[in-house]
């Protein structure tokens, strides 16, 4: 399987039919059809469902297209890094967990793109497990996760500031009038909690005997839909401040007492050379992080 064949495959997936794809990549339609037939023969599976002039991907075709995008993105970045020492371009891929501290990272990214407009920024939103998995696969240059990071696998810089934890509560709920939420106030309350087990363990450590996993009525990976659940009366969201437009959802963030806070860290894979774009980003990030005022 050649990289050229993967580019042909993506052209068809993006265009929706072989004729349009052939016009885009400037080869004949019969030649492109033959390339795809040869690829299906090589892999021993159907990649397309053909009906009249329309074409759609099979499950295996969709899988290969997604992998092809990753492969070609990595290839293009590697080529850009080695073909011209004086040009800084290509992709910079950053994975972000949910936190208002991401502003520091994005401020640095903005400065990078102003200085080097040939760089294209790619953002991936997910939890720490998803971000580290993509780092390990070489699909991200950097990730932002809750500190402490795995210092055996990753280099890291702690981000100035902290995430303050509490409950997102409907504004018409009597609990929303509390200045803070103590451990006794969460007893038997229905809670909507992150799907990540470390967050549950953190809540157990904070709440002690006042918290039970049986109180968890729903799990979430990104908080917006969790906010909709809270608004609909399913329960209270265990989350961090500054993430939702509380007025839009009629929710109020009430912090935990005793205070529960976590730090964030920018991480990247140890013992792996950084692209020129990643090296420059790291320089801008360190500058932005120094200027940030710790909370």
pLDDT recorded at residue 151: 73
Residue 1 has pLDDT above 80, yes or no: no
Q: Which residue has the higher pLDDT, 34 or 293?
A: 34
Question: Which domains are present in the chain?
Answer: 3-80 (1.10.10.10), 85-160+264-291 (3.40.190.10), 161-262 (3.40.190.10)
pLDDT recorded at residue 244: 83
- E strand or H helix at 207: helix 197-207
| Partner residues linked to 94 by β-bridges | 123, 142
pLDDT recorded at residue 83: 59
β-pairing, 90-96 vs 191-194, is unpaired
β-pairing, 251-255 vs 216-220, is unpaired
pLDDT recorded at residue 30: 87
User: Which residues lie below 8 Å from residue 4, measured CB to CB, with a gap of 6+?
Assistant: none
- In percent, the amount of the chain with pLDDT more than 70 equals 94
pLDDT recorded at residue 49: 85
pLDDT recorded at residue 210: 95
pLDDT recorded at residue 279: 92
- In percent, the amount of the chain with pLDDT more than 90 equals 53
Q: What are phi and psi of 18, to 5 degrees?
A: -70, -40
* Gap between the Cα atoms of 74 and 43, Å rounded: 22
pLDDT recorded at residue 211: 95
User: Which residues lie below 8 Å from residue 202, measured CB to CB, with a gap of 6+?
Assistant: 165, 260, 262
Q: Is the pTM of this model over 0.75?
A: no
pLDDT recorded at residue 86: 58
148: pLDDT confidence band, cut at 50, 70 and 90? low
* Gap between the Cα atoms of 241 and 221, Å rounded: 16
pLDDT recorded at residue 20: 86
158: pLDDT confidence band, cut at 50, 70 and 90? very high
What is the tens place of the pLDDT at every residue in 33-90? Answer: 888 888 889 999 988 887 766 778 889 989 898 888 878 877 776 776 665 555 677 8
pLDDT recorded at residue 85: 55
pLDDT recorded at residue 88: 72
pLDDT recorded at residue 87: 64
* Gap between the Cα atoms of 246 and 287, Å rounded: 32
> Closest Cα to residue 200, out of 209, 190, 211, 187?
211
Structure tokens at 84: 């011209």
3-state secondary structure of 190: coil
pLDDT recorded at residue 219: 96
Structure tokens at 118: 């040939």
pLDDT recorded at residue 188: 94
Structure tokens at 210: 């006042």
What is the tens place of the pLDDT at every residue in 82-139? Answer: 655 556 778 899 999 889 999 999 999 999 999 999 899 999 998 888 999 999 888 8
> Closest Cα to residue 222, out of 210, 234, 237?
237
DSSP tag of 274: P
E strand map for the chain: 48-51, 54-57, 90-96, 119-125, 142-147, 154-170, 191-194, 216-220, 236-240, 251-255, 261-269
| Conformational region of residue 44, where left means phi above 0, alpha means psi within -120 to 50, and beta covers everything else | left
| Partner residues linked to 157 by β-bridges | 266
Residue by residue, DSSP assigns 242-253 as TSS-HHHHTEEE
């Amino acid at each position: 399987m050649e990289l050229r064949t993967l580019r042909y495959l993506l052209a068809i997936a993006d265009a929706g039919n072989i004729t349009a794809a052939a016009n885009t990549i400037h080869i004949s339609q019969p030649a492109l059809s033959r390339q795809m037939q040869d690829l299906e023969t090589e892999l021993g599976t159907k990649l397309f469902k053909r009906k009249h002039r329309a074409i759609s991907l099979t499950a295996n075709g969709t899988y290969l297209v997604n992998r092809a995008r990753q492969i070609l993105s990595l290839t293009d970045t590697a080529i850009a890094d080695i073909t011209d020492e004086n040009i800084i371009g290509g992709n910079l891929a950053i994975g972000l967990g949910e936190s208002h501290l991401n502003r520091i990272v994005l401020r640095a990214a903005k400065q990078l793109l102003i200085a080097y407009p040939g760089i294209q920024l790619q953002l991936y939103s997910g939890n720490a497990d998803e971000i580290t998995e993509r780092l390990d696969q070489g699909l991200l240059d950097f990730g932002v996760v809750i500190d402490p990071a795995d210092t055996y696998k990753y280099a890291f810089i702690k981000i100035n500031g902290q995430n303050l934890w509490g409950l997102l509560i409907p504004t018409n709920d009597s609990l929303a009038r509390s200045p803070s939420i103590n451990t006794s106030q969460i007893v038997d309350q229905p809670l909507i909690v992150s799907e990540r087990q470390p967050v549950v363990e953190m809540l157990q450590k904070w709440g002690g005997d006042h918290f039970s996993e049986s109180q968890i009525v729903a799990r979430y990976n990104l908080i917006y839909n969790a906010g909709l659940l809270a608004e609909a009366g399913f329960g209270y969201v265990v989350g961090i401040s500054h993430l939702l437009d509380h007025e839009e959802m009629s929710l109020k963030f009430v912090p935990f007492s005793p205070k529960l806070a976590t730090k964030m860290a920018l991480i990247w894979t140890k013992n792996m050379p950084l692209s020129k774009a990643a090296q420059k980003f790291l320089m801008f990030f360190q500058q932005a992080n120094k200027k940030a005022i710790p909370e």
